[in-house]
Amino acid sequence: MLLNRPGSKKWMTFAVMNALVLTTVACGSKEEAANNNAASAESTSPSAASTAPTNTASASEQPAAAPANQGEPLVVYLNDFDEIIKPMFEEATGYKLELVTGNGAELASRIEAEKGNPHWDVVWMDSMPTIDQMGKQDQLLADWTPKDIDNLTDFAKQFVPASHAYFPTGAHAASVIIYNTKAIDANSAPKTWKDLADPKFKGAVGMADPAVAAPAYPFVSWFFGAQGMDAGKQYFESLIKNGVHVYPKNPNVAKALTGGEIKVAALQESNAYTLKNSGEPVEIVWPQEGAPASVRVAAIQKNTKHADAAKAFVEFLLDPKTQQALIDQGEESYFEPSAKDVQPKKDRAADAKLVAAEAGWAGEHEGEIKQWFADQAVK
């Protein structure tokens, strides 16, 4: 009848095809999910399995397969080691694991948004102040003691809260000093944090923005926490006066350093070693005062339906064998383990001294300090 018939037929074809696509997509996602579950149940990565702790002391106490809620996997929110932890844990305990990966802030945001109906069982990330606050807001399972707790190093023990709401699994420098060896020789390189305010590095220093980058907050909060708010502000004002470049995140800092935009940087430890190992002309300095630490902690959601698996996961993370495997094979493998008898990376400085602000204090003042930085930046 009216108008161009061929066109309308083709339209119908288009519509039908679209409908088909739609149904396939719907099925696809379901199948995908099923496959994923199947894959996670069977997943055995040979390389990880061979070094995974196949027989921990607890293996005999733990059931080989999850007894309760068997169909449901343990959901872990984490910001690193996602590539190796899943097969390692499943192989060692028989529990199934599902991971949600993101940077610390993304996960914290997700957890906060899910507060009414949490989807996570365990959170494992290097934002101790944030998790400490979650504990104080009664979101975490407290008063449970993992069996390996006495095997923590003295350094790690100081981070275990009285409530036992979370446990440290390692710590890494939120910032070390790193410089471009093409621009600066070893003699004139900065040795201490104070040196970064030296006029000879005017306009040549870079750091990540504590208002944006997750690891930058543990870095700056130590100055405020250890020396007091005023001294902290004074120190960073002296850096700002000296023309410090503030980049949104650590990778931006790294790029500015290798690109020659800056000569010296306060850079997160793993980023720094990655640069050095990839052959960039950089050298790492562990400052005499110590490098402010970002502590990675694991915590269990208060109302988790998978408490057994969650506890098994935390104990698994505190196991020296697990930590050794993370150091040997993980991507963010430059850190100080929290368990005794674990060897850090060989090229990680032997005199690596870590310092940290008290978690409770850092958590309470987080908003205030970050706002101060954000407003400084636009002045």
Partner 1 sequence: MLRMLTYGNRTGWLVLAVLFLLILLPLAAVIIQVLLPGVFFGKLVMGDISLLLDVFRRPLWLASLKNSVLLGTGTTIIATIIGGAIAIVRARWSFPTAKLLDMAVWLLIITPSFILAQGWVMFASADGLAARWLGWTWLHSLIFQPAGLIAVMTLSKFPLAYLTVYTALEWKVDRLGEAARLSGATPWTVWRTVQAPLLLPAFCSGAMLVFMDTVGDFGLPASIAAVFRFPTLPYSVYSALYTSPIRFDMAGALSFYLVLLIALAMAVQLYAMRKSRFDFLTSRATRSVAKRPAKGTYVFVLGNIALLLIVIGIPLGSNFLMSVSETASGAGGFTLRHYRELFTGDGTLLSGLLHSLEIAAAAAVLGLIVGFLIAYVLTYSQFKWRKAIDVISLVSLAVPGIVLGIGYIFIWNQSWLEHIGLLLYGTPWILILASVAGAIPVITRIIVGAMAKVPAQLLSAAQMQGAPFTQRVTTILVPLVKGALLSAALAAFGASVFDLAIASILYPPNFMTLPVVINKAFEDLNFGYAAAATLTGGGLVVLIMAVLELLFRPKKKRVRSSAYESHT
Site for partner 1 in 55-94 (CB under 8 A): 73, 75, 83
Residue 127 touches partner 1, criterion: CB under 8 A: yes
The verdict on 26 binding partner 1 (CB under 8 A) reads yes
Is 278:114 a contact under the CB 8 Å cutoff? no
Q: Determine if 119 is a binding residue for partner 1 (CB under 8 A).
A: yes
366 phi and psi angles, rounded to 5 deg: -60, -50
Stretch that binds partner 1, among 122-130, 150-158, 188-196, 306-314 (CB under 8 A): 122-130
The reply to whether 47 sits near partner 1 by the rule CB under 8 A is no
**Would you say the C-alpha torsion 106, 80, 168, 116 has a positive or negative sign?**
positive
Which residues have CB under 8 Å from 73's CB, separation 6+?
Answer: 37, 40, 95, 96, 97, 98
Is 379 an interacting residue with respect to partner 1 (CB under 8 A)? yes
Among residues 44, 55, 158, 371, which is the contact residue for partner 1, using CB under 8 A? 371
Tell me if 166 sits within 8 A of 140, measured CB to CB.
yes
Q: What share of the chain is helix, strand, coil (3-state, %, to 5)?
A: 45, 15, 40
Distance CA 124, CA 100 (A): 10
106 contacts partner 1 (rule: CB under 8 A):
yes
Which residues, at least 6 apart from 135, have a Cβ–Cβ distance to it below 8 Å? Answer: 142, 161, 163, 165, 166, 299
Shortest Å, Cβ 161 to partner 1: 17
Binding residues for partner 1, how many (CB under 8 A)? Answer: 82
Check binding of 112 to partner 1 (CB under 8 A). yes
CA R_g for the chain: 24
Residue 242, interface with partner 1 (CB under 8 A)? Answer: no
Q: What dihedral do alpha carbons 31, 34, 38, 39 form, nearest 10°?
A: 60
For partner 1, the binding residues in 258-317 under the rule CB under 8 A are 258-261, 271, 274-275, 278-280
CB of residue 316 to partner 1, shortest distance in Å: 18
Q: Does 207 bind partner 1 (CB under 8 A)?
A: no
Q: Which of 217, 223 has the CB closer to partner 1?
A: 217
Binding status of residue 29 toward partner 1 by CB under 8 A: yes
List 51, 69, 101, 242, residue binding partner 1 (CB under 8 A): 101
Q: Which is nearer to partner 1, 17 or 57 (CB)?
A: 17
Q: Residue 334 and residue 332: Cα distance in Å, rounded?
A: 6
